[in-house]
Structure 1
Amino acid sequence: MKIRYWLLMLGLLGSSPLATAQASRTLDSLLTYLRMHPATDTTYLKVMDKVAIELIYKKADYARADSLSRQMAEVASKAGNWTKLVAAHRNRAAINLLKADYEQAMVFFQKTLETAEQHNLPRQLIYGAMCNLIIGHDKLQHNEEVIQLATRAIEYQERYQLKPRSPLPPRLIGEALVRLGRQQQAIPYYQQAGAIFRELGDERGTAIFENQTGDFYLELKQPQPALAHFRQSLQLAERLQFELLQADALDGVANALRLLKRPAEAMPYAHRALAIAQKQDNKLGTSTSYGTMGQLYQAQLDYPNAETYLKKAIALAEKNGYKDDLKRYTQALADLFAEQNKYQQAYVVQLKNNKLTDSTTAVRTNAEVQRLLAKYEADKRETQIRLLQNERQLQQQEADRTRWQRNALLAGGALLVLLGAATTAWLLNRARVRRLQEAQQIRKQIAHDLHDEVGSTLSSISLLSGMVNDLIAQKRPESAERAIQKINTDARQILEAIDEIIWTINPGNDSLQRVALRLKEYAQPLMESKNIAFSLVDDPGLDHLPISMDVRRNLYLVAKEAINNLIKYSEATQATMRFEHQNNQLKVVIEDNGRGFDVNQASLRTGQQSMRDRASAMGGSLTVQSAVGSGTKLELVVGQ
């Protein structure tokens, strides 16, 4: 349940969410106030904020909280109340963070900081917005960004002597360093965070920090010290009557004991955590407790109860959109079935988990690969520019020496030449070493992300292989043949995924001509299979027009999605794709003469929102023109 106490840190933008909720009137009385008063004054906005916080942190009613926060943002904007506009963005970020939609959470975290800085809000508020943005980077595991922004936040705090000091930036720097494999460098930052908590005399913050430290040791696969920190957190939380953190600490104790092979001892802690979550009507906590209990029953080989609780966790997570819990416990259920040699059931559940992974983790890790590579290319260009500047400076200095010291001794001139050459060689060598180190780091990152990309599909292949052996032993050759065909299909999908990643990162493909060619190779056989006459028209100048890796990848995925929709739904007999470049704009047009659809109504064609998001990410726009019986025209415009 780690994500819940992360959100306690969002109180940096104002008062603590839990403290505010506890000090407020009941939710019913707050809702009555909103119904009875006009949406105009500051008090109304304060009440809206309190209701949203109650719905988020105590009721886990994210749909209502998000709707209310949208209204709050509109009212605050009209009233010019920028502080409450920041609070509305913060609430929407918290909702997406709890739902594990980290990309969308980052959008609102960025808005909080931009709004605070644009309107010169109090420095403490700006600092809090920085900290919240660091949390977003942390959840996306943008380790370098975490370290850079957290360091900036610490410097900002010290420059303006903001009090009280916050332990969040050093704490997150420590966690980022751990993820980078630099555990020893992380320790001083953890110690600094602990010292700040003690300096503040903040028992609540100390209790949260102890819980986080327990998770730190769990991630390092060290359950014994983790258990000690969870117990300390639990003791403080019980003294403070801090029930939300009690549930987190109890769950932590249970998981530490499970890893220590003491599941029977762990079970009472898991039951207590579940009781608190149910008492608070906290659906996220309930889902997590169900999952923990399922894993504890599995550790005791009580498979029926393990299956029951894991299915409860999955159902609750699926109903409420808790993506992390849903993926975690779906995989746990597949592992449970495999442990019992129930390969058919394991395979079905594994397929479900694969779809979840494909729709979230794989997309995010691919995006991270592209981000890292783009960052590497930018840094490489900057290094080359600096080297050229240094070389020009050295050449100019040498020319000046030649002009003003024409009569200098030959030995002195030779010495200067040697010194310049040595300096240039040293600079070039240092830059070369740096580029090699960066390339090595990116290679490691790509290897890691490729592992994530294909891991779930390989799990399916492994389970199917186990099924084949059983089916052969049962003399069921037809079923065995179908399983083998599925293994072949999954293997081809892995090869296609890897081929697509390799094509994306290959610098030889950095031109629009290469994008057009690959799309034609992709579309042509699909069109022929549906008897669609297909043509591709491109501008001859595309061959010499460079394109960044990020734009190239998004452009390719948008066009590929459009082609898939055309093949599936259009019933067309003719289709055209055009690439045009004029007025510093790239235009991609895909047209068909198919049955069309009503663009104002929900369509069977999938991925339109995803395509628009990708177009927006490129700084472009996507328009779709269609009508029933009149074909469809999709137009993507990107500035160059």
Structure 2
Amino acid sequence: MKKTYILTLLFLTVFLNFFGQNLKKDNNYNQTKALHNVLVSIKEKVYENELQASKTLDSLKPILEEKANDSLLGLFYRLKYNLSSNQLKKELALQSINKSIFHYNKANNYKGIVLSTMNKGNIYLFKGDNIKAIENYLTALKIAENNDLKNEIGLLNKNIGVVFSNQEKHDEALKYANKALNIFKSLNNEKEISSSYINIGNCYFNTYDANNALFNYEKAVSISEKLKDSLNLSLLYNNIGTVYLEDKKDTLNGIKYLQRSLAVKENLNDKNNLLFQYTNISSLLANLKRFQEANMYLDKAFKMAKQSENKLELAEIYEVYSKIYEGKKDYAESLKYYKLHKKINDTLLGIGNKKAVEEIKTKYETAKKEKQIIEKELKLKKQENLIISLSVFGVLISLIGFLIYRQQKLKNKQQEKEFQLQSAIEKIETQNQLFDQRLAISRDLHDNIGAQLTFIISSVDNLKFGFKITDQKISNQLNKINSFAKTTITELRDTIWAMNAESFTFEDLQVRMLNFKEQAEQSNQNLKIDFTVQPILKTVKISSLEGVNIYRVMQEALNNAVKYAAATHINIHAKEEKKCIKILISDNGKGFNIDEVDLGNGIQNMQKRIGDINGEFELTSSKNGTKILLSIPFKP
């Protein structure tokens, strides 16, 4: 098979030289189609001889650039991405996929945009950056849904499920995997049906349901063997072997399946999956106390994971290293690798990381629901316009006779009143639905996340009072967790407050800020905060987005003044000036040199929040303190 492919690539190279010489003579549809077919033929065999595939692509580049067909260039750079990704050169892969998206955008090729944006998400998923992965997946999903790209919608649901699986949100992962399966069944796409069964099996395996995991894996094996899909079979052999080893305690079958998986992956030259396979086999050998062989496979996996910046796999590799050194009774090395494993794992599964992914998903789903409501309102408007047109037409017809005119006019008026009444009722119902959705979201946030945070606080308190903790570091860490959870509850309440109103007055914002002021002064008795608002501003209405952004910026400014500047007196003054809300926040802290200090995420976030509401953010600092001036336009 490999010899045939090398000959094919050599033929393609000769063909391309001839093709390039004649391109200027006959620039038509057939040439574009021929170029597309050449690229597709490379795509199907790209991993069998990476060097030859790369040379062939390089010989294509000047021809494609001269042709200036953005769809072909988009496909070209996606192939470059495939090569770099399989070579574990993730940064080069990212550069290529960005170029692919750029050209597909120029060509308005929505399917290409979706696939390349999904591939960009895959890079971040391999790197363990779940936030950027979900952002790219949801961006692609929105475009796919707007253009009814059902197969791509299925692929994206499948990948989104993997993000939630990585975050140990197994119910959410199973929901997306089943959604993908149903889409592929409707399209009769057997290859992706098989892939969906693999993901569903993984969800059951992660929740220790070995029988359901094997049931779904065996469905996938049946389809993949029929299709002769080596890639899916290599994944399945690995997963089935893992179930036999970890859940069934059947070492013989487990080893047999893992060896079959390794043989297929090495034959495919699929480096990304080889990385996972080396780690799995190493873990197995470590459990069998064959530490030297385990170390050999693990060194290969470590080199590939470092090259590809795959944080998720690095965490697993460090854990296996720790197990190997523990087996060798080298406890110092074992502890070192366990700490490295824990550090990466805590980052990937951190509260902030999970929260950010959940917030992105919630924003996407909320925007989708609001779009549906807007579409319904537009439909009602069209119906209203249609009735009005019919009424006008009826009035013109009624000119035929005075009696007919009067009767028709009365009838039309009655119909118009009934329609207006019905339209008003439907508009009210639509507004109520939107309010109910917001209320449901805020209730979910309060009941679920709020309850979980309260449970954390209660658990920490029980630990502190139920056990005699003499280690000051542990005690301090428990206090930090307690304080962080309480702060998060406060921020959650602030968010719910902002969500439950479309707009509110500046006086509402002042009351909220005064509550924060009292809490800050109670926690620091040396701190004094003055907050004054010009009377004219108290009745000014602002949107919930403006309100929450202003509130968060003032919060961040106060925290920075106390935490970093050691300020004891902070003054906040709000006034109206030239149709702008001017808010000056000044403190008597130690200040800093703006030109010499690297401004952190906090200040950058404040600038972005004010920019998002079309405001201006000014920061000045000296040894006598720091001043922040916010200018937000408003309509009196």
Larger Rg: 2
The answer for the alignment partner of 1:74 in structure 2 is: 102
Query: What letter matches 1:490 in structure 2?
Result: Q
Between 93-102 and 600-609, report the one with greater CA deviation: 600-609
Q: Give the corresponding residue for 1:55.
A: 84
Counterpart in the other structure of 1:363: 352
Distance in 2 between residues matched to 1:117 and 1:515, nearest whole Å: 40
What CA deviation, in whole Å up to 9, does each residue of 1:596-635 have, x standing for no partner? 899999743433455678899xx96785333566832357
Compared with structure 1, are the counterparts of its residues 622 and 136 closer, same or farther at alpha carbon in structure 2 (3 Å cutoff)? farther
Deviation at 1:208, TM superposition (A): 0.9
How far has the Cα of 1:26 moved from its partner? 5.4
Give the distance between the partners of 1:445 and 1:268, measured in 2 at CA: 48
Q: Is 1:499 matched with 2:486?
A: yes
Cα 1:591–1:554, aligned 2, differ >3 Å: closer, same or farther? Answer: closer
Quote the Cα distance in structure 2 between the aligned partners of 1:158 and 1:249: 29
Residue 503 to residue 111, structure 1, CA distance change in 2 (3 Å):
closer
Query: Aligned match of 1:110 in 138, 143, 149?
Result: 138
Aligned to 2:601: 606
Q: 2:46·2:53 contact (CA, 8 Å) conserved in 1? A: no
The one of 161, 165, 168 aligned to 1:134: 161
Aligned partner of 2:233 among 186, 190, 206? 206
Q: Deviations over 1:136-167 (max 9, x none)?
A: 34334444443333333333223333354432
1:137, 1:143 within 8 Å by CA — same for their partners in 2?
A: yes
Q: TM-score, normalised by structure 1?
A: 0.59
Q: Which amino acid in the other structure matches residue 221 of structure 2?
A: G
- Counterpart of 1:129, as a letter, is L
| Residue type of the alignment partner of 1:330 | L
Matches of 2:355 and 2:490 in 1, distance apart?
A: 13
| C-alpha spacing 1:104/1:623, structure 2 compared with 1 (3 Å) | farther
Aligned to 2:259, what secondary structure does the other structure show? Answer: helix
8 Å CA contact 1:167–1:193 kept in 2: the answer is: yes
Alignment partner, residue 182 of structure 2 = 155
Name the aligned partner's letter for residue 534 of structure 1: D
Alignment partner of 1:167: what SS? helix
The alpha carbon displacement at 1:78 in A equals: 1.9
SS in 1 for 2:46: helix
2:74 is matched with 45
Task: Output one character per residue of 1:225-272: Cα deviation in whole Å (capped at 9) or x when no partner.
Answer: 7555423422433455555534422321221343x4x22x14314413
Of 217-226 and 43-52, more deviation after overlay is shown by 217-226
Do residues 274 (structure 1) and 274 (structure 2) align? no
Matches within 5 A, 1:182-581: 188-215=215-242, 224=251, 227=255, 229-238=257-266, 240=268, 242=270, 244-258=272-286, 260=287, 262-263=288-289, 265-275=290-300, 278=303, 282-284=307-309, 287=314, 289=317, 292-303=320-331, 306=334, 310=337, 329-331=339-341, 353=343, 357=346, 361-365=350-354, 446=452, 450=456, 484=472, 486-503=473-490, 510=497, 515-524=512-521, 529=526, 533-535=529-531, 559-568=554-563, 575-576=570-571
Unaligned runs of 5+ in 1: 1-13, 311-327, 333-352, 376-437, 469-482, 582-586
SS at match of 1:272: helix
Distance 1:236 1:370 in 2: 40
CA contact (8 A) 1:369 1:445 kept: no
Task: State the 1:329 CA deviation.
Answer: 4.8
Residue 411 of structure 2 corresponds to none
SS in 1 for 2:601: coil
Please say if 1:625 is aligned against 2:614: no
Q: 1:621 to 1:37 in 2, by over 3 A?
A: same
Asked if structure 2 preserves the Cα contact closer than 8 Å seen for 1:59 and 1:281, the reply is no
Q: How far did residue 97 of structure 1 move? A: 0.8
How much does 1:92 deviate? 1.9
- Which residue number corresponds to residue 348 of structure 1? none
**Partner Cα distance (1:221, 1:451) in 2:** 38
Per the TM alignment, residue 202 of structure 1 is displaced from its structure 2 partner at its CA by 1.6
Relative to 1, partners in 2 of residues 1:99 and 1:118: Cα closer, same or farther, differing over 3 Å?
A: same
Aligned residues: 494
Which whole-Å deviations, capped at 9, do the CAs of 1:18-77 have from their partners, x for residues lacking one?
953445545577568658974942443333222223333313332x43334333322321
Q: How much has 1:112 moved relative to structure 2?
A: 1.9
Please name the residue that 2:585 is paired with.
591
Task: Name the amino acid aligned to 1:20.
Answer: V
**CA pair 442-175 structure 1, distance change in 2 beyond 3 A:** farther
Asked if 1 retains the 8 angstrom alpha-carbon contact of 2:570 and 2:586, the reply is yes
Q: Distance in 2 between matches of 1:559 and 1:15?
A: 58
Cα distance in 2 for residues equivalent to 1:450 and 1:637: 41
- Alpha-carbon separation, structure 1, partners of 2:529 and 2:263: 72
- 1:109 CA displacement: 0.8
SS in 2 for 1:607: helix
Supply the distance in 2 between the matched residues of 1:563 and 1:219 (Cα, whole angstroms).
Answer: 52
The 2-side partners of 1:75 and 1:598 are apart by 44
* Distance of 2:609 and 2:234 partners within structure 1: 42
Alpha-carbon distance in structure 2 between the residues aligned to 1:524 and 1:599: 28
Cα deviation for residue 365 of structure 1 reads 4.4
Residue 20, structure 1, aligned to residue 56, structure 2: no
d(CA) in 2 for partners of 1:178 and 1:539? 62
Q: Which residue of 2 aligns with 1:169?
A: 196
CA distance in 1 between counterparts of 2:557 and 2:320 reads 42
Change in Cα spacing, 1:150 to 1:128, as seen in structure 2 (3 Å) is same
Could you tell me which amino acid in structure 1 is paired with residue 78 of structure 2? D
**Cα distance, 1:245–1:621 mapped onto 2, change above 3 Å:** same
- Tell me which amino acid in the other structure corresponds to 2:299: L
How far does residue 106 in structure 1 lie from its aligned partner after superposition? 0.6
Residue 67 of structure 1 aligns to a residue in which SS? helix
Q: Give the secondary structure class of the aligned counterpart of 1:80.
A: coil
Which residue identity lines up with residue 292 of structure 2 in the other structure?
M
Q: Read off the aligned partner of 1:496 and give its amino acid letter.
A: S
TM-score, normalization by structure 2: 0.59
The structural deviation recorded for 1:94 is 1.5
* Cα distance in 2 for residues equivalent to 1:250 and 1:449: 40
Residue pair 1:247, 1:272 contacting (<8 A) in 2 also: no
What amino acid maps onto 2:350 in structure 1? T
| Structure-2 separation of matches of 1:217 and 1:631 | 64
Asked whether the 8 Å contact 2:210–2:243 carries over to 1, the reply is no
1:115 Cα shift? 2.3
Unpaired stretches in structure 2, ≥5 consecutive residues: 1-39, 365-443, 499-507
Cα 1:297–1:593 change in 2 (3 A) is closer
100-109 vs 137-146, which deviates more?
A: 137-146
Which residue type is aligned with residue 296 of structure 2? H
Structure 2 counterpart of 1:320: none
2:33 corresponds in structure 1 to none
RMSD (Å), alpha carbons: 5.8
Give the partner amino acid of 1:194: V
Give 2:513's aligned amino acid. A
Instruction: Show the counterpart of 2:367.
Output: none
Larger mean Cα displacement after TM superposition, 276-285 or 39-48: 276-285
Q: Partners in 1 of 2:267 and 2:348 — Cα distance?
A: 42
CA distance in 2, matches of 1:566, 1:144: 42
